[in-house]
Copies of this chain bind each other. A is one copy, B any other.
């Protein structure tokens, strides 16, 4: 039976034909692996996702966690699922063997996680947040911190959170007010209120380790005065044993539109002046530590947005193939049998848009994950640096493009289901609600636009953008080398678009230097436009790979034809949308910038 989580042929294609994950096994770190072990681990993840995560996805949505003033209650399936995840080795999978990990490449690990995201984004978040937390401890913790905190986290006994946001400081993290006062014994007394802390309280394990941003006494104002602290729910002694309850109180659960299975919490630290934490990383370098982890977290957000739409697309395609309704538009006989709705051009149009969005986005996420692997393990230092920088440039797109366009794909999956799609008897409405979060957390859409246009495209005086364009040119060359007129035409369109993007960028950067408000006023439009350019590039890569697989007969004919059709759609019907965006950006449209508050 067809999996509704992912098209495994597509996953294999993206991992091995597109980003050539098997080449990673030449790296020392991954030398124990082979393409076969990669596939076996993915298979195990797929089975676990189908068996332990997917079955309670709707139930967790309909029975969200509750707080009785003392404890958080949730359906028992969540604890079973996260335990099975850890028992299967997935908590530690990408980590060092010395910590019990498999040293799985980030690319393959993300492929595994993608399956859990598609199956149940709410339940899998507890483990993923813990993994992000552990990553940070591994990178910045002292040896003692690593020894005490990592093993129970990798074993799935302890969980972790990231506690950044405060009620008065959402996107403006530097404005946080939580304080950390030295006790004198090397620990700190933490005091402050945090909000929107995912997984901030629950009873899935023995402890919850909060990574809390706070200010030391006399720290400089703003971003340069923020430090990071490890604050466990139950205090941890020098041997790593959890003991007394720390002064971390759940002030309440937040009730969300979707993603309901994940507790979102308001936490009070130090209400009774008795919340003890320990510094991790250097004083006043908390944001640097946090942002070090952000690239990977943002790949995770992109992957989450993508997979929620990917599974919805599979449901829509299946529904369209099996639901009979209406007749071909040219048919005259009202007694003829109804046809599957996939026979209607408009339904195929909606499927093709979804396919071009979700498979394009997934290709981008894997490309980014591969860059993360290359940044860590490529043999050549220059190659590592290139990968690091390219990833930094692409991160705003990875974070934001799926949140914007895969949500649109979710919208279309509902539309294909007609009235049924709007009901909770079908899964697509939940995927849509769940996915709406992704344009908000880990940096809103607007913040990503400012990051891209205000910072990333200017990195190294534009050298990183130039590097991206060289990669794009190489893809275009490989497309022209296929000897296929359509691919050559896509290649020309892609390079023309990137010439245009480069010109628009140069113009906007020049303005930004003079007048940053005017230069960045339409950064969100720039973000969407740039994203379409990136996804077109990913689609040309996929088209080339599909063409080659078609020639070699290594993938099924229908699969290759579908890939080439989705690429065609993206080049013919999506990329041209950038035209009016360039015009808007180049004329420095100030309609919004000049609007006054009392006009609304």
Q: Hey, which bits of chain A sit against chain B, CB under 8 A?
A: 165, 168-172, 174-175, 195-196, 221-223, 254-258, 264, 313, 317, 320-321, 324-330, 334-335, 338, 340, 342-349, 351-352, 355, 407, 411, 414-415, 418-425, 429, 432-433, 436-437, 439-441, 444-446, 449-450, 454, 516-517, 520-524, 558-559, 561-562, 565, 568-569, 572-573, 576-577, 579-580, 583-584, 589, 591-600
A419 and B170 form a contact (CB under 8 A): yes
A325 and B440 form a contact (CB under 8 A): no
With beta carbons under 8 angstroms apart, the residue of B257, B321, B423, B568 that contacts A422 is B257
With both beta carbons as reference points, the residue of chain B lying nearest to A557 in the complex is identified as B598
Minimum CB–CB distance from A357 to chain B (whole Å) comes to: 13
B446 and A421 form a contact (CB under 8 A): no
Chain B residues within 8 Å of A335, by CB: 221-222
What is the bound-complex CA distance between A597 and B348, given in angstroms?
8
Given A171-B326, A329-B450 in contact, is the A255-B425 Cβ separation under 8 Å? yes
A569 and B598 form a contact (CB under 8 A): no
Chain B residues within 8 Å of A415, by CB: 439-440, 444-446
Copies, count: 2
B418 and A170 form a contact (CB under 8 A): yes
B444 and A418 form a contact (CB under 8 A): yes
Chain B residues within 8 Å of A411, by CB: 407, 436
B565 and A446 form a contact (CB under 8 A): no
With beta carbons under 8 angstroms apart, the residue of B170, B445, B598 that contacts A325 is B170
Chain B residues within 8 Å of A330, by CB: 516-517
What is the bound-complex CA distance between A187 and B182, given in angstroms?
87
17 contacts between A and B (CB under 8 A): A165-B419, A171-B325, A171-B418, A172-B326, A175-B338, A255-B423, A255-B424, A329-B450, A329-B517, A345-B517, A345-B520, A348-B595, A352-B595, A418-B440, A558-B596, A562-B595, A579-B579
B562 and A591 form a contact (CB under 8 A): no
What is the bound-complex CA distance between A411 and B405, given in angstroms?
13
A597 and B520 form a contact (CB under 8 A): no
Chain B residues within 8 Å of A347, by CB: 446
What is the bound-complex CA distance between A195 and B420, given in angstroms?
10
Given A254-B423, A324-B168, A429-B257 in contact, is the A596-B561 Cβ separation under 8 Å? yes
With both beta carbons as reference points, the residue of chain B lying nearest to A172 in the complex is identified as B326
Given A349-B522, A349-B524, A591-B565 in contact, is the A597-B340 Cβ separation under 8 Å? yes
Chain B residues within 8 Å of A424, by CB: 255-257
Chain B residues within 8 Å of A523, by CB: 346
Given A352-B591, A597-B340 in contact, is the A257-B423 Cβ separation under 8 Å? yes
B425 and A441 form a contact (CB under 8 A): no
Chain B residues within 8 Å of A559, by CB: 599
With both beta carbons as reference points, the residue of chain B lying nearest to A224 in the complex is identified as B334
Minimum CB–CB distance from A251 to chain B (whole Å) comes to: 13
A558 and B598 form a contact (CB under 8 A): yes
Closest 4 CB pairs of A and B: A222-B334, A562-B599, A349-B592, A576-B580
What is the bound-complex CA distance between A349 and B524, given in angstroms?
9
Chain B residues within 8 Å of A441, by CB: 419
A440 and B423 form a contact (CB under 8 A): no
What is the bound-complex CA distance between A338 and B177, given in angstroms?
13
